[in-house]
Structure 1
């Protein structure tokens, strides 16, 4: 691929502007989306508490998840909202963090809104987003006093996810032999949507020096794994997949469904930030071609067979992620996907949390505002 990614060039393409939307329109939409999701009384999923803390609710499950807390922190650092970032991180450290035991250094993936842990175990997509958001916060705002010493906090997380079990109880979040992220630490399979090679490139550069080689290998392994797990014709991937990329059906997540929507977004961001994998352009085209003639979404096998149609399908999240894939390479479908995305409205129902987060992230990356600091 000829052009270098933004990590090298510091140039972020505003694809929305290229396709006719004005900077004023784009800035207004970003501001309105942020205000709606974090402060609008009817739409928000962000809730401030005492002691300068706050949490984000998964509105469909009425709990607080490391996914949502880390997404909120990423959105806050991208939009220079330090107070929101710090409030979320204080709540996370106080209620979700494990200071001891086999999960020491990890975060309980689900708590109730009062901070009681629903489950002790972690979900690795939360830890990787926490670490990346903290590193970006350190570079954008500088480190403060504990727990706002962002870079130190990030490096502690990154040490645990790689080395857990070497000198203490527990399991690492990455398989040390194949460098692939696990669905949860105790299992030996993965989730394609967890794979964020663009994060691992930065962990190698800004994380713990002794793990630089590990993270570079993880980035390469993840790019290869995504090619293995995405169907060669449809571009669809399963929610859970074996280490060889084949769908894993045992837990009932071997088809293209909610988690898997994020793969399109992730390849778009990796292409913007590092632009190392020509396959990503092919993958974006396959996905966009597959969905181009579909007015309503359903659940699909990865070879494109229609399955059941759950009423809680995250249609807006899929629309947003597929639009973000355009950043991996423009094609005959790009204008359609950007138009559909631009004209879409935020969800207002109880399932709005996941969809509206993906919408916000897609809006940021498509406007050149999902950046490395």
Structure 2
């Protein structure tokens, strides 16, 4: 088994395999970042006052912990401390919970003026906040609070697994028995796309020392979970899942829906960084085969995880192409490079729903270019 970049510092660039030059790849990354953050029409990053900024969910007209933490990860990968600090200060000022059972967590949705739309957190925001902060600490060094990045990251992770001990009435974001991340702290079920074993491997190096065995175990158990929740024929993951891997219906009629798309991307990055479970490639192989053999490029629907198309069109078709391509970092099947080529030729999404698609587009672009880096 080939070791991942964590061990070798070698990040695969699949675009090079298509004959695309490094200069072309670098330009595409730069242009994409510029569009997301600075284009007058298509950006979804906005500055607030002299020291803050937010990522706008253009489909819902709010700022979410998901998007804020995504923006911070983009900024640290692109060495933009100015943007990173603006996003982090907005998050700490308007989303961070100072009291109550959610103390230490971040409200998952606020208005662009910083008014909380909900009190509860979404755990995928916390894990991205923590990872981006650790990387920032390594790239730029810790400053004065709240820019003491590594201190902030460790505090987030402490709350994530010890909330019930730290806060009266609080619930942790990870289940202490099976080591799975929960959909929300109170929920006895999970979201497969929240499972980021490659992040947990790094938390096992960077978190408080006493918690490092927990994170190591969480990485192992999340990889096992992906095998039981992704369909054995189609490779599709459900948007929400019981702890035994079976789909759970919450909001949408479909099971393979918007959150689900991230699973292939996550498997791809885990392979690029660690490659501890090479058999996860089979999930992406099946997923790529399903879409290549049963659909037209970009003409997607909501599906059951068995691949049965439902009437509802996919809300984020660009994200499906991007994440299936990112999964090629793990895949071994015959459609592997076809998806990379399709993605390279794919423009950014425009219009109202561009936020989610283009976030996953940019992450997939960095991954496939070998430029989504670990900072230790």
What secondary structure is seen at the aligned counterpart in 2 of 1:281?
helix
Specify the alignment match of 2:54 in structure 1: 55
Specify the alignment match of 1:326 in structure 2: 328
| Change beyond 3 A, Cα 1:130–1:18 | same
What secondary structure is seen at the aligned counterpart in 1 of 2:226?
helix
Q: Deviations over 1:106-161 (max 9, x none)?
A: 00000000000000000000000000000011111111111110000000000000
Specify the alignment match of 1:196 in structure 2: 196
What secondary structure is seen at the aligned counterpart in 1 of 2:55?
strand
Q: Deviations over 1:198-229 (max 9, x none)?
A: 00011011111110111011111100111110
Aligned-partner Cα distance in 2 for 1:252–1:261: 14
Aligned-partner Cα distance in 1 for 2:278–2:13: 20
Unaligned ranges ≥5, structure 1: none
Aligned-partner Cα distance in 2 for 1:250–1:125: 17
Q: C-alpha displacement at 1:299, in angstroms? A: 0.9
| Change beyond 3 A, Cα 1:269–1:253 | farther
Q: C-alpha displacement at 1:335, in angstroms? A: 2.4
Q: Deviations over 1:31-87 (max 9, x none)?
A: 000000000010000001113110010000000000000000001111111111011
Query: Could you tell me whether the CA contact under 8 Å between 1:239 and 1:253 is conserved in 2?
Result: no
Query: Could you tell me whether the CA contact under 8 Å between 2:37 and 2:44 is conserved in 1?
Result: yes
Query: Could you tell me whether the CA contact under 8 Å between 1:241 and 1:254 is conserved in 2?
Result: no
Q: Deviations over 1:178-210 (max 9, x none)?
A: 100000001100000000000001101111111
Q: C-alpha displacement at 1:251, in angstroms? A: 4.5
Query: Could you tell me whether the CA contact under 8 Å between 1:238 and 1:302 is conserved in 2?
Result: yes
Out of 307, 310, 315, the residue aligned to residue 307 of structure 1 is 310
Residues 1:259 and 2:262 aligned together: no
Specify the alignment match of 1:277 in structure 2: 277
Q: C-alpha displacement at 1:167, in angstroms? A: 3.8
Unaligned ranges ≥5, structure 2: none
Q: TM-score, normalised by structure 1?
A: 0.98
| Change beyond 3 A, Cα 1:305–1:35 | same
Query: Could you tell me whether the CA contact under 8 Å between 1:240 and 1:253 is conserved in 2?
Result: no
Q: C-alpha displacement at 1:252, in angstroms? A: 4.2
Q: TM-score, normalised by structure 2?
A: 0.97
**Deviating more after overlay: 187-196 vs 274-283:** 274-283
Aligned-partner Cα distance in 2 for 1:341–1:270: 20
| Change beyond 3 A, Cα 1:57–1:219 | same
Aligned-partner Cα distance in 1 for 2:89–2:306: 43
What's the C-alpha RMSD, in Å, of the aligned pairs? 1.0
Aligned pairs for 1:1-373 (under 5 A) are: 2-169=1-168, 170-252=170-252, 255-293=255-293, 294-295=295-296, 296-310=299-313, 313-373=315-375
Aligned-partner Cα distance in 1 for 2:222–2:71: 24
